[in-house]
Amino acid sequence: MSTEHGLFGAKGTGDTSGYGGLVRKSHNELSAERPYGGYFDEMVDELERAYPEFNDDIERVVLDRGELTLHVKADRLFHVAQVLRDNPALRFEMCLGVNGVHYLADTDRELHCVYPLLSLTHNRRVRLEVSVPDSNPHVPSLVELWAGNNWHERETFDMFGIIFDGHPGLTRILMPDDWIGHPQRKDYPLGGIPVEYKGATVPPPSERRSYR
């Protein structure tokens, strides 16, 4: 059990801004036990046959809200993804990008990358997830496998500071090249720019309300 402070999703406070004063309890995810149900068991069986290192390189399997997520060791991500794409019994031809997540309380695993995969051949879905420390945020690039990940990895680098090793041109895509920091990290200051109108000034978001 962990406690999250100042995040969206807490209920009963009347605060809809998400800027502060929010406290929510969250449960640590545990590895799911078989049977997973649906096509998930068959899919994992196929992956285990095609990838003998499955038990060593897959840290845990999480089944939540009807979605199956394979938590992969960061340095093995490329190899697992390649098997999922190329094996005829799996054939996940499409990666729908990469989503960055920042968990402040997940010590030495603060930064997460989530990859939703889709098999057009078999009409199946699965997610890959890797975790890295913010002190060494390196993840293998998957652009070689799915070219469409190019801009998604650049955005995740820009917003979260995750470095995708092997990316053909890892530069910022939203913020200026000389911008300091990564705006979607949860420890990034809200900041904001005061807006001036005739006879009035609107302060930046972090100064508009107090939650103390």
Domain 31-181 -> CATH class: alpha beta
H/E element, 23: strand 23-26
Q: Which residue has the tokens 């997830």?
A: 129
Asked whether 133 and 160 are in contact (CB, 8 A), the reply is no
Query: What pLDDT, in 10s, does the model give residues 158-205?
Result: 999 999 999 999 999 999 999 899 999 988 877 666 666 777 777 776
| More reliable by pLDDT, 201 or 50 | 50
Cα separation, 181 vs 160, whole angstroms: 8
Query: What pLDDT, in 10s, does the model give residues 131-161?
Result: 999 999 999 999 999 999 999 999 999 999 9
Number of H helices, E strands in the chain: 4, 12
Query: Whole-model pTM?
Result: 0.80
Query: What pLDDT, in 10s, does the model give residues 81-105?
Result: 999 999 999 999 999 999 999 998 8
Degrees (nearest 5) of the Cα angle 162, 185, 147? 35
